[in-house]
Amino acid sequence: MSSVSSKKLVNAENNLIVKVSPMGPNTKTLDNAFSRLIRHSSVQNFLKGKKYRLLFYELVDPEQNTDTKSSKAIDAPSLYRATFYDYTDNRTIVANWDLNKHRLSSITESSSQPLPSNEEFDEAVKILTKDSAFGSTIDKEKLQVYRPMPPLLKQELPDGRVERTIAIGLLPKDKDLSHEILGVNMIRESVIRFEGRAPPMSMASDNTCGLPSANQPITNKGTPGQVRVTVTQAGTVLWNFIAVRPAASSGTNGSGIELRFVNYRGKRVLYRAHAPILNVKYDNPPCGPYRDWEFKEGMIQANGTDAAPGFRLCPTPASTIFDSGIDVGNYLGVAIYVQGQEVVLVSEMEAGWYRYLTQWRLHADGTIRPRFGFSATSNSCVCNTHHHHVYWRFDFDIRMPTNNVVREYNNPPLFPPSNWHTKRYEIKRLRDPTRDRKWQIKNASTGESYTLKPGSNDGVADSFAKGDVWVLRYHGSEIDDGVLALGPPYEAGIDNFINGEAVEKQDVVVWYAAHFTHIFSQDGSGPSGHIVGPDLSPSDW
């Protein structure tokens, strides 16, 4: 386990003190577990004599296997998972290790295609540099290598099997060369070129949009890092919660900075808050649609003191691509700083050519402002009009997991004379700005509540986005819709969770979606990106 030593950030101007303590298994613990796992006879039966690669290893969220909530779950995960790719037999192998019993829990094989690790992408580039058509130009830096969308290409064989093929983008620095997206077959170690210079669902024209890519390091899935954060002001504890870095966040494809066990002034607000679903739809082919991921952290500019792996306390605000307009930085992880009366947690994520902002702003008055940003580095697809959608999952436990009520506000009212009405069963709702719609999550017995108010730039769902708000009964198996990055399906599958269950005076979860239509020719805020998100504010606290 991690050391219990903690670090503090003192903001004298607003008398705020942020204390950060590392927690949970560290890299050494996971490395030891992997060492035992890889030597296990059952694992060796799968891997011995094969050409294979460890793609990533990660801790498995125990909540997804049960509907029982635990205050200790995040600090004491019991399952460790290693994902390998076997190039000899063209298959994925997943081994689960029981950390408590120190034994192999299970091992399975499948034809699924996990996202490439950073090392696997680098290996694909090495194979490309050996190709006579590209090696010399890449070596002489006439072509800039970048990660395109989609990152994996589903090139089917005559019998329907898919050989693992990684996409590599090449942007010309020499006017005599052309923009192109290639495939590198990792089984045959061969290069695939496409008619039109790009594979299906992508594009590589001479016209590009977005900021120049710096090609700096990014994190792999499962990189450990979580902390306990305590915020005090004038001796009073305002906030207490656990924060998880994007690389270690829960869900099939990660979920950005994740908050757990969020208490304000000693009372529980949220059991978990994160954004497990992210997708984008283009108006015109051949680009997309894409189901994105939220665990590959990109570099941000953050100066300060490291409090734990993946967390840095900063005396001044950190800078992302959304602040600076450049794709560079000096830190991989989450920056924590104070701005005015708010404690801010921020990180930047990469998915192919996309750059995403994940941010939480917690005010001294109890207001929580989750924020998400959309930007991109140079590519051809984003020159076309496209629509970003992010889906937050707020597992509210106002005072306690049960006995919570969700009320909706409409002006003009739907049921005069009151503007408020209670949602009794699971339901999906649209934002409907003409009614100034918002939602309140309230403890039915004690009266404390939080109101979810849509952001002014959060948009309204189209047919692809599916919805704006879902009110659901809590189930641990519904952390996300279980769809692997890249899809299909590409649309969010939250509708599948609606089955008529009662939500009045129950343990409730509210999903909230924000949408942004990106038209580069009408990009009024510049190329650095756009930020969306609601406000969550307390009442009778």
Locate 515 and state its tokens: 């949408």
Q: What are phi and psi of 118, to 5 degrees?
A: -60, -40
140, 277: one domain: no
385, 460: one domain: yes
Is 204 within a domain?
A: no
d(CA 474, CA 472): 6
Count CB-CB contacts under 10 A for residue 514: 27
Of 332, 386, 382, 321, the residue nearest 356 (C-alpha) = 321
41, 132: one domain: no
244, 312: one domain: yes
Is 148 within a domain?
A: yes
Among positive and negative, which fits the CA dihedral 323, 326, 327, 328? Answer: negative
Contact 168, 184 (CB under 8 A): yes
244, 178: one domain: no
For residue 538, whether the previous peptide bond is cis, meaning omega lies within 30 degrees of 0, is no
Is 384 within a domain?
A: yes
CATH of the domain at 358: 2.70.98.20
d(CA 482, CA 492): 10
Contact 443, 523 (CB under 8 A): no
What 3-state DSSP class applies to 175? coil
Instruction: Please report which helix (H) or strand (E) contains residue 129, including its range.
Output: helix 118-129
300, 414: one domain: yes
d(CA 187, CA 169): 19
d(CA 146, CA 224): 26
318, 190: one domain: no
From first to last of its 541 residues, what are the pLDDT tens digits of the chain?
Answer: 444 689 999 998 999 999 999 987 777 878 888 899 999 999 999 999 999 999 998 888 777 666 667 665 555 677 889 999 999 999 999 999 988 888 999 999 999 999 999 999 999 999 999 998 888 888 777 889 999 999 999 888 888 889 999 999 999 987 788 999 999 999 999 999 999 999 999 999 999 999 999 989 999 999 999 999 999 999 999 999 999 999 999 999 999 999 999 999 999 999 999 999 999 999 999 999 999 999 999 999 999 999 999 999 999 999 999 999 999 999 999 999 999 999 999 999 999 999 999 999 999 999 999 999 999 999 999 999 999 999 999 999 999 999 999 999 999 999 999 999 999 999 999 999 999 999 999 999 999 999 999 999 999 999 999 999 999 999 999 999 999 998 899 999 999 999 999 999 999 999 999 999 988 765 444 445 799 999 999 999 9
Contact 351, 514 (CB under 8 A): no
Is 436 within a domain?
A: yes
Q: DSSP label at 33?
A: H
d(CA 132, CA 91): 29
**End of a domain among 110, 130, 146?**
110
**End of a domain among 85, 110, 135?**
110
Is 442 within a domain?
A: yes
Count CB-CB contacts under 10 A for residue 226: 25
Is 447 within a domain?
A: yes
363, 424: one domain: yes
**End of a domain among 110, 130, 157?**
110
d(CA 320, CA 413): 41
Locate 332 and state its tokens: 């991989």
d(CA 227, CA 241): 8
443, 523: one domain: yes
Beta-carbon-side half-sphere exposure of residue 470 (alpha carbons within 13 Å): 27
429, 507: one domain: yes
d(CA 386, CA 399): 40
d(CA 257, CA 237): 22
Is 9 within a domain?
A: no
Is 18 within a domain?
A: no
Domain that holds residue 165: 118-197
Which residues, other chains included, contact 455 with Cβ-Cβ below 8 Å and sequence gap of 6+? 514, 532, 533, 534, 535
CATH of the domain at 92: 3.10.450.40
pTM: 0.95
102, 130: one domain: no
139, 239: one domain: no
Q: CA 515 → CA 130, 369, 374, 390, 464, distances in Å?
A: 43, 16, 10, 7, 11
Q: How many domains does the chain have?
A: 3
